[in-house]
Structure 1
Amino acid sequence: MKKQLFLVFLWVFAFANAQQNIFHTADFWKLNPTVEQVKQKIAEGNSPTSLNERAYDAVSMAIINDASLEVISYLLSLEGNDVHKRTHDKRTYLFWAAMKGNLPLAEKLIKLGADVNLYDSHLYNPILFAAARGTDNQPVIELLIKNGADINYRNEQGANALLLAIGNMKDIKEADFFVKKGLSLKSTDHNGNNAAFYAARSGNKPLIEQLKKRKINIKALNQKGENLMFAAAQGARMKTNTLDFFQFLEKQGISPNQPNNEGITPLMIVASSNKNLEVIDYFIGKGNDVNQVDKEGNTPLMWAALRNSHEVVVTLTQHCKNIDTQNNEGFSALTQAVRSNTPEVVKFLLEKGADITIKDKNQNTLAYHLLDNFSPRNLKAFEQKWELLSDAGLDWTALEAENNTLYHIAVEKSSTDLVQKVSSVNNSINTKNDEGLTPLQKVAMTAKNTDLLHLLLKLGADKSVTTDFGETVLELAQENEFLNQHNLDFLRD
């Protein structure tokens, strides 16, 4: 049966992933392929050594998705997959084995020469990475220590293995493993967060109660003036906390409405990421000021408008005195939503009367912020926001900071589709910015191919224009190491 399912899987992916390396897909590895099946996919042209856009390769994907030791060993035998190879976040294969608690693989990698004290781009070593992902990894941590790994190593926030592990512990006795290795239960990180803070991020009630019994101060403030409410509001990786946990902390005598040293309140933290309306209402009800600003001028509504749900934005707007309040950068809630939230949130804020003409401190309009965050991956949302702003009367011809037109902004994204879109609302294709450059000149200096040059010329760009130093578009392109490999005769007068 498993073999039949695997064959069906391969048949489907022959169509769905014709241009994708099958070794970069989690679904392939989750069906636990054999060495023979892996060899077959290599023969079909799938690279067992290449990295994808996020720097994962076949070996890292195989480890993460629990492929067999036999398959992983085969992949490791291939040239280009040595144990020192850096993958996502500069992690070697030992990091992924440690994360998964894969003791046999970790032993094999160490025998092959894997460095147990290497650190990744977040300054985690394999011990910290294993500790942060769960206490079931203690056998691997023991192995790493026996092979010279530094148990006292801390990440860039100053957290040691005990602090990173404690949020996932089911019982405080699990911490004794780390204490016996020389770490203290009273450890704090660089910001003064003790073990209770790390337990609070994960919403771990039993651990907080047990830490209290072991004389860990659960009412302590860290160096930012934050209590456990802030830690709980931040949550853990892929996890936000529920109303029940915040109420539990309050019963422990921890204030739910105490701002930190920078004027940030727990409401601001949950407004940015917690989609639970009960939690939002709880902090409002406990006296967190919906109109309070932090040191950067952000209100809870601005935090929510940046990336939280439509429902949270609606709730906060009901308590907001001024929907057009701007932070120190001149961003309003609408600016934040245009940049990175959904069309639904943008539509709601416009319907509530948010100012369509608002400019940031650099005098950039909402058009700039929409284009500045353009990505082909979010094309549908981009188009919907464009239509919403158009319907609300946004002036697409207004000059942006440094007298840039939307063409100047669009060409920075190297997208012909975006430039084509701008051409439908803006005819200032030959305007010079404060640098004295037209969009065509800017492209000639920075482009990696001629596509944008051809498009701009088609749309009416003037190739006879010169810079303030008398340089022609052709001369600028000839100085571009990417473009001078192309035939540039089309730029001659």
Structure 2
Amino acid sequence: MSMSLFEACEKGDSNQVKLLINEYFNVNQLDGQGRSALHYCCDNTITDCAYLLLKDDSIKDTILNLQDNEGCSALHLACMNGNEIMVKFLCEQGANVKLLDNESRSVIHWITVCGHLHLFDILIQYKAPLHTPDIHGVFPIHYASQLCDVSVNKDLKIDSEKGLAILQKFMDYRVDIDCIDEQQRTPFMWAASAGNIEELRLLYKYGANQLHVDKDSLSALHCAANHGHLSCIHMLVEHYKCPTEGQDINGCTALFYTIMHNHSNACQLLLDLKANPNHKDNRGRTPSHYAICNGNLECLKCLIKSNANIWLKNKRGDCPIHELINTLSLNKIRNQKIEYSQIFAVIRYIFQIYPNKINIQNDEHRTPLHLAASLGDIDTCQVLIECGAKINSFVRNLAVSNR
């Protein structure tokens, strides 16, 4: 078949389409993406070309619900494009509103993700299912919970008002507000991850469980902390009574996540909200271990200001400074990037405040300098010596042998 039929449909040239059909072109033929001529009509705001293609019942039976290589029917494409005229037309022609694409996404998934609020009532009128999971267990309401001010593409941004209105649709039709995806995360947790405070309010108003945890025991507060969403953190703790000491599967509270991802403002906020600066995870590590080992000076300052004890030991018997030196060695072995300027700034800051701790020993009776020398870390040794670390014959011999 000449590509001219595809081109004519794409351009909305009904005269050319009619001519080609009358010349017995094979209307059922597909392009390289597995699409029929009907797929090419889905950008058009005039239905003439689509009407001509579907006029023959035998052809209609073949192409109306035909799915391309990605599992998308013409109705899927019309929904993605927000084409109300074509969506109405295809539904009137009997298009299957329950078809799923190759990732099990429904037309409701697509109009939600693309922010096409105006298509909901049409599809619901034709009994499109509102609440089916995709291959990741994600329901349309999950996507709706994080729509505010989302850019779909360079030409389309979903504003807060429309995002909330889409979420409200799911509330109005009473879908399961605490449905879970494959990670066992609810729409409330998705909203927290996205920092969408208005969606959180709406979900909570309709009874969402703000204390739900996923398969790794992460809570909505962990999700908000992970991304440094200050307003969400404040609301979850102050108004929705989410506990600051809730632990994930590794024993980490939300405070740990602000430090891991260098959100110093969120770290300070949680500390102001009475998060425990000395909480220990399952390996006995405190927030100070995380801040120091990550070279996270700003979060470390927040912790110290909030009376964190940065000399608590983990289960191996290492203070944060000892764990830092071990971590540097491991990162070298693994060829991981090391931000030495940040690390050394942290070391200097610690011993500027606590000069008397420069020779503190771990449970193996090693000082930071002993440890750095034994690992052949000459640069760290030099910084520690600058900070006043005591050199003895043991350290000298180690330094020489590691040159």
The TM-score, its normalising length taken from structure 1, stands at 0.54
Residue 484 of structure 1 deviates from its aligned partner by: 6.2
Partner residue, 1:455: 349
Partner residue, 2:83: 204
CA deviations on 1:294-322 (whole Å, 9 max, x unpaired) are 33221221111111422111110012253
Between Structure 1 and Structure 2, how many residues are aligned?
A: 318
Describe how 1:217-228 pairs up with structure 2 within 5 A: 217-228=96-107
CA deviations on 1:319-369 (whole Å, 9 max, x unpaired) are 225321111121222222222263222222221222232111211112112
- Go from structure 1 to structure 2 and tell me whether the alpha carbon gap of 1:308 and 1:202 turns closer, same or farther (over 3 Å shift): farther
CA contact (8 A) 1:334 1:354 kept: yes
Residue 404 of structure 1 deviates from its aligned partner by: 1.0
Cα distance in 2 between the residues matched to 1:422 and 1:199: 53
1:266 aligned onto 2:146: no
Cα distance in 1 between the residues matched to 2:47 and 2:315: 62
Partner residue, 1:4: none
- Go from structure 1 to structure 2 and tell me whether the alpha carbon gap of 1:321 and 1:268 turns closer, same or farther (over 3 Å shift): closer
- Identity of matched residues, %: 16
CA contact (8 A) 1:172 1:211 kept: no
Q: Which amino acid aligns with 2:349?
A: L
Cα distance in 2 between the residues matched to 1:481 and 1:166: 66
- Go from structure 1 to structure 2 and tell me whether the alpha carbon gap of 1:187 and 1:264 turns closer, same or farther (over 3 Å shift): closer
- Go from structure 1 to structure 2 and tell me whether the alpha carbon gap of 1:431 and 1:328 turns closer, same or farther (over 3 Å shift): same
Partner residue, 2:386: 490
Residue 247 of structure 1 deviates from its aligned partner by: 1.6
Describe how 1:323-334 pairs up with structure 2 within 5 A: 323-334=210-221
Partner residue, 1:441: 322
Residue 399 of structure 1 deviates from its aligned partner by: 1.1
CA deviations on 1:250-304 (whole Å, 9 max, x unpaired) are 2343122344566533212211224422211211111211122233221221111
Describe how 1:243-262 pairs up with structure 2 within 5 A: 244-260=118-134
Partner residue, 2:116: 241
CA contact (8 A) 1:477 1:483 kept: no
- Go from structure 1 to structure 2 and tell me whether the alpha carbon gap of 1:386 and 1:254 turns closer, same or farther (over 3 Å shift): same
Of the three residues 171, 188, 200, the one matched with 2:68 is 188
Cα distance in 2 between the residues matched to 1:469 and 1:172: 81
Structure exhibiting the larger radius of gyration computed from Cα positions = 2
CA deviations on 1:208-244 (whole Å, 9 max, x unpaired) are 4566699975531235544200112222xxxx332x2
Q: Which amino acid aligns with 1:294?
A: D
- Go from structure 1 to structure 2 and tell me whether the alpha carbon gap of 1:164 and 1:458 turns closer, same or farther (over 3 Å shift): farther
Residue 472 of structure 1 deviates from its aligned partner by: 4.8
- Secondary structure of the residue aligned to 2:256 is helix
- Go from structure 1 to structure 2 and tell me whether the alpha carbon gap of 1:455 and 1:169 turns closer, same or farther (over 3 Å shift): farther
Residue 466 of structure 1 deviates from its aligned partner by: 5.2
Residue 421 of structure 1 deviates from its aligned partner by: 1.7
CA deviations on 1:398-430 (whole Å, 9 max, x unpaired) are 112421111111124323222222212244322
CA contact (8 A) 1:163 1:194 kept: no
CA contact (8 A) 1:267 1:284 kept: no
1:370 aligned onto 2:230: no
Q: CA RMSD in A?
A: 4.0
Contiguous gaps of at least 5 residues in structure 2: 1-9, 12-30, 51-62, 149-159, 329-338, 391-403
Contiguous gaps of at least 5 residues in structure 1: 1-134, 137-150, 176-183, 376-381
Partner residue, 1:280: 167
CA contact (8 A) 1:271 1:304 kept: yes
Describe how 1:108-127 pairs up with structure 2 within 5 A: none
Cα distance in 1 between the residues matched to 2:314 and 2:268: 27
- Go from structure 1 to structure 2 and tell me whether the alpha carbon gap of 1:387 and 1:448 turns closer, same or farther (over 3 Å shift): closer
CA deviations on 1:71-124 (whole Å, 9 max, x unpaired) are xxxxxxxxxxxxxxxxxxxxxxxxxxxxxxxxxxxxxxxxxxxxxxxxxxxxxx
CA contact (8 A) 1:448 1:483 kept: no
- Which structure has the higher relative contact order (CA within 8 Å, separation 6+)? 2
- Secondary structure of the residue aligned to 2:145 is helix
Partner residue, 1:347: 234
- Go from structure 1 to structure 2 and tell me whether the alpha carbon gap of 1:306 and 1:472 turns closer, same or farther (over 3 Å shift): closer
Q: Which amino acid aligns with 1:233?
A: T
- Go from structure 1 to structure 2 and tell me whether the alpha carbon gap of 1:165 and 1:269 turns closer, same or farther (over 3 Å shift): farther
Cα distance in 2 between the residues matched to 1:167 and 1:467: 70
Cα distance in 2 between the residues matched to 1:166 and 1:374: 49
CA contact (8 A) 2:247 2:253 kept: yes
The TM-score, its normalising length taken from structure 2, stands at 0.65
Cα distance in 2 between the residues matched to 1:301 and 1:225: 22
Residue 471 of structure 1 deviates from its aligned partner by: 7.7
Partner residue, 2:290: 409
CA contact (8 A) 1:465 1:473 kept: no
Of the three residues 313, 333, 356, the one matched with 1:432 is 313
- Go from structure 1 to structure 2 and tell me whether the alpha carbon gap of 1:471 and 1:356 turns closer, same or farther (over 3 Å shift): closer
- Go from structure 1 to structure 2 and tell me whether the alpha carbon gap of 1:254 and 1:459 turns closer, same or farther (over 3 Å shift): same
CA contact (8 A) 1:405 1:433 kept: yes
Cα distance in 2 between the residues matched to 1:475 and 1:214: 76
